[in-house]
A = this chain, B = another copy of it.
Amino acid sequence: MKYCSECGSSVVLRVPEGEHLPRHVCPACHTVHYQNPKIVVGCVPVDEQGKILICKRAIEPRHGFWTIPAGFMENNESLEQGAARECYEEALAEVEMGSLLAIVNILHAQQVHVFFRARLLNNRYGAGPESLEVKLVDEEQIPWDEVAFASTEYALRVFLADRHAGQETYHMTSYERRGWRS
């Protein structure tokens, strides 16, 4: 951030009075511009046979790698609504959102990823504009070496572990730096 989004003046980085962290502050109109983590919402969509819907990314980062439907939460939607919207946008699939699966703090990217279990409502799916390919896979067909993000892999692994154990619990973890395979 270089300019004040309210008045267009150059901002400075300083600790505002009464606070303890440096912020982008406008010397002209005195607006303090806070920057906070963004939320990514996603789900593990499963069909009646237990197959999992995965998407091959058509966009960067990680073009050509596989993921589960997920993306930035928008204003004026709930976490579950956002996860369902992303699933429709990326995989053209309608889902019923289920229980909370995982929350992953991505510290280096200033993001919190929130994943739910989800049930495919019919057998219609396909590649949305941000996907090269969308397919249903059995557990043993998951392309682990081509999974896009550490949080995707985490969500899939805890999903499968819980399914094997016959339970639906939530899981939390944090990543401090990029864990992409090269």
* 22 contacting pairs across A/B (C-beta < 8 A): A2-B5, A2-B6, A2-B8, A3-B7, A3-B8, A4-B5, A5-B5, A8-B10, A21-B74, A34-B72, A36-B75, A37-B39, A37-B73, A37-B74, A37-B75, A77-B105, A77-B107, A78-B174, A79-B103, A79-B105, A79-B172, A80-B172
Residues 52 to 93 of chain A near chain B (Cβ within 8 Å): 72-80
Map CB proximity to B onto A14-56 as digits: 1 under 8 Å, 0 otherwise.
0000100100000000000111111100000000000000000
Q: Which residues of B contact A103 (CB under 8 A)?
A: 79, 100
Chain B residue with minimal CB distance to A130?
A: B18
Which residues from B are CB-within-8-Å of A78? 105, 107, 174
Q: Given A37-B39, A129-B18, check contact A110 B75 (CB 8 Å).
A: yes
Which chain B residues border A34 with CB–CB below 8 Å?
72
